Amino acid sequence: MQGRDKVQSQLFGTIPLEMVLAADHPLRKIRADFDIAFARLSDAFETSYGTTGNPSVPTSVLLRAFLLKALYSIKSERALCESIELNVGYRWFVGLDWDDKVFDHSTLSTNRKRLFGSGAAEALLGEVVRLASSRRLLSSDRLVVDGTQIKAWASHKSFKSKDGSDEDKPNFKGTKRSNKTHASTTDPDSRLLRKGPGKESMLCHLGHAMVDSVSGLVRACRVTKACGLGGEAEVVTAIELAEEHMRRGQFLVADRGYDTPAFVEGLKALGIRAHPRARKKNSALHARTTKSKSYEAGLKRRYIVEPVFAWIKDSGRLRQTKLRGTEKVGWELHIQCIAYNLKRMAIAAMA
């Protein structure tokens, strides 16, 4: 006999929220690792809140929500709150119970600076990296650095002359424009950049990542203003990241665009060995370096940074940011890298 739909659902449930999620679900491991990293910074986050007033949404709940958005390619914060409302697993992951009301999407936007500003995003990524190091997932002395374009939330029509001479000219075709004479009125931090000869130019920011050459985990990341074809921003940022996150005697592998005297000599002054892919002509590397076995081994691992950018842009939806300003885009890149590391660590633990 065919069953009939129940007109009224069960009034009370007896299953704990934690029991709904499968025991081997990756979200369990990701949340456990995040809670360990966050526990070391919980006191620092408390200082950004006052001692009076109504209790706010816990910081850990908001941070887990941002992680969830990155892990499951949720397109917006409004859609994120709707997904948490409908998905029981999402509700458990962020730390809400059956009867808890989901916070409004504006809560995430309002608290973004409190959650990630003043170096909090870098500190949280650093704790995740230290957690991975304690499990011996970062045993390599060779790191890989690279950069990628992040399309800005601004159109070409917003790229106006700084002196206001083209305010009454909506059609920019056929006019010569450069970052020296023009700036975006929508996102002043974005820059007009072309990836290479024959490529289209677009308003973008520049994302940098330093990755472990064995595990593929992100050691550090940063967002800077884009530059021209000379690559000055990439080289300067790579040296800064190496100074902050590497020690003497380690190797830094990079692509051919980093084969410049500034990159090689800058790392040499820090006691770090530069191993960029050598140019065919006018290479800054010594012939003795390019013939060493260590150099050849490093070049075989230089592609390990590409899956990081691919995941961030596809799953993380960071091919084009919806935020404006280099600082805010940097916060978004950090939460994407944190989500990527936690996912890789969970996969390694379950293997």
What is the predicted pLDDT for the residue at 318? Answer: 94
- Among residues 337, 68, 58, 28, the alpha carbon closest in space to that of 212 is found at 337
Mind listing the pLDDT tens digit for each residue in 276-286?
999 988 899 99
At 33, the pLDDT band (50, 70, 90 cuts) reads: very high
At 109, the pLDDT band (50, 70, 90 cuts) reads: very high
Does residue 342 fall inside a structural domain?
A: no
Segment 5-32 shows an average pLDDT of: 82
Range of 85's domain? Answer: 17-116
Looking at the structure, do residues 104 and 197 belong to the same domain, yes or no? no
* Number of domain units in the chain: 2
What is the predicted pLDDT for the residue at 228? Answer: 56
Looking at the structure, do residues 147 and 100 belong to the same domain, yes or no? no
At 231, the pLDDT band (50, 70, 90 cuts) reads: low
Does residue 99 fall inside a structural domain?
A: yes
Does residue 77 fall inside a structural domain?
A: yes
Does residue 246 fall inside a structural domain?
A: yes
230 has pLDDT over 70: no
Segment 108-133 shows an average pLDDT of: 94
Segment 215-222 shows an average pLDDT of: 95
Segment 166-195 shows an average pLDDT of: 81
Looking at the structure, do residues 304 and 198 belong to the same domain, yes or no? yes
Q: Percentage of residues in the chain with pLDDT exceeding 70?
A: 93
Looking at the structure, do residues 234 and 105 belong to the same domain, yes or no? no
Does residue 22 fall inside a structural domain?
A: yes
Looking at the structure, do residues 147 and 291 belong to the same domain, yes or no? yes
Does residue 341 fall inside a structural domain?
A: no
153 to 70, 297, 311, 325: CA distances (angstroms):
18, 39, 20, 9
Mind listing the pLDDT tens digit for each residue in 49-74?
777 888 889 999 999 999 999 999 99
248 has pLDDT over 80: yes
| Runs of H (alpha helix) within the chain | 17-20, 26-39, 42-46, 59-71, 77-86, 88-94, 105-110, 112-116, 120-134, 232-245, 261-269, 287-290, 293-299, 306-314, 326-350
Segment 127-151 shows an average pLDDT of: 92
Looking at the structure, do residues 51 and 189 belong to the same domain, yes or no? no
Looking at the structure, do residues 146 and 245 belong to the same domain, yes or no? yes
Does residue 279 fall inside a structural domain?
A: yes
Task: Give the span between the Cα atoms of 142 and 62, in whole angstroms.
Answer: 35
Does residue 333 fall inside a structural domain?
A: no
The CATH number assigned to the domain holding 215 equals 3.30.420
275 has pLDDT over 90: yes
Looking at the structure, do residues 267 and 196 belong to the same domain, yes or no? yes
Looking at the structure, do residues 25 and 109 belong to the same domain, yes or no? yes
Looking at the structure, do residues 82 and 205 belong to the same domain, yes or no? no
263 has pLDDT over 80: yes
At 206, the pLDDT band (50, 70, 90 cuts) reads: very high
Looking at the structure, do residues 200 and 301 belong to the same domain, yes or no? yes
* Cβ–Cβ under 8 Å, residues 27 and 52: no
67-73 own/partner pairs: CB under 8 Å, 24+ apart: 67/30, 67/34, 67/335, 67/338, 67/339, 67/342, 68/93, 68/94, 70/315, 70/316, 70/335, 70/336, 70/338, 70/339, 70/340, 71/27, 71/30, 71/315, 71/339, 71/343, 73/314, 73/315, 73/316, 73/317
